[in-house]
Amino acid sequence: MPVAFVAKREVSTWPLVGVAARLQRTVFVDRTRRQQTGAAIAEMLKRLTDGVSVVLFAEGTSSDGNRVLPFRSALVGVVSDAAAHQDFGGKFMIQPMSIGYTGQHGIPMGRQHRPLVAWYGDLDFMPHFKDFIALGAVDAVVSYGEPLLAHTAIDRKAMAKSLEAAVRALNVATLRGKPRPMHTAAS
């Protein structure tokens, strides 16, 4: 499936991962230079108009796997830009999604074990990756919320809050072993 991720600039320099990310046309964001947000949004819009879905983890960082962190609204601005673009005819869909770690070797994973799987904070990637591989099979559940029709009048901060609530509900339901909630982000 044609998809591009949005990642921090440092990912482009990582062994193996950086090469794969560049081949996949990842949009790299320099989080230390806020003035480059417009350039990142332009690159994301280019991917979208080329028919490539863009995956944005709006937290801007990762957690220990037990919770969803607050969303950052800056890059969510691509939604109103895309809705305004002629290729989308004023209509643009955005879909909230969540990834939850639920088990290891088929045995339910409690909150104390998720940090062993999640790569977050200041953890060095390669040692964590090595430890992750040594864990063996890990169950991960990808949940999708209801798609949201975006339009040009959308306020990016309100959109980020709404999407955050939808993703949080999906994640909580997954980690508690419940069916996907029927939560829809407000338009």
Place of tokens 């419940």: 178
The model's pLDDT over 43-100, given as tens digits with 9 standing for 90+, comes to: 888 888 888 889 988 887 788 888 999 988 877 777 777 777 777 776 778 889 999 9
The model's pLDDT over 99-123, given as tens digits with 9 standing for 90+, comes to: 999 998 888 988 888 888 888 887 7
State how far the Cα of 158 lies from the Cα of 9, in Å rounded to an integer: 27
* Residue closest to 8 by CA, chosen among 21, 16, 20, 19: 21
- Evaluate the CA torsion angle 71, 73, 77, 79 in order and state its sign: positive
Place of tokens 């063996």: 136
pLDDT band of residue 33 (cuts 50, 70, 90) is confident
Place of tokens 């990310």: 21
Average pLDDT over residues 160-178: 90
Identify the H or E element spanning 29: strand 27-29
The model's pLDDT over 1-19, given as tens digits with 9 standing for 90+, comes to: 779 999 888 889 988 889 9
Coil, helix or strand at residue 3: strand
CA distances from 22 to 5, 25, 31, 100, 126 (A): 10, 5, 18, 26, 19
What's the pTM? Answer: 0.82
CA distances from 102 to 14, 64, 89, 170, 175 (A): 28, 13, 40, 13, 6
Whether 77 and 156 have beta carbons less than 8 Å apart is answered as yes
Amino acid at 157: K
Query: Could you write out the DSSP letters of every residue in 98-162?
Result: EEEEEEETTEEPPTTTHHHH---TT--HHHHHHHHHHH--EEEEEEE---EEE-TT--HHHHHHH
Q: Regarding predicted confidence, which is higher, 182 or 68?
A: 68
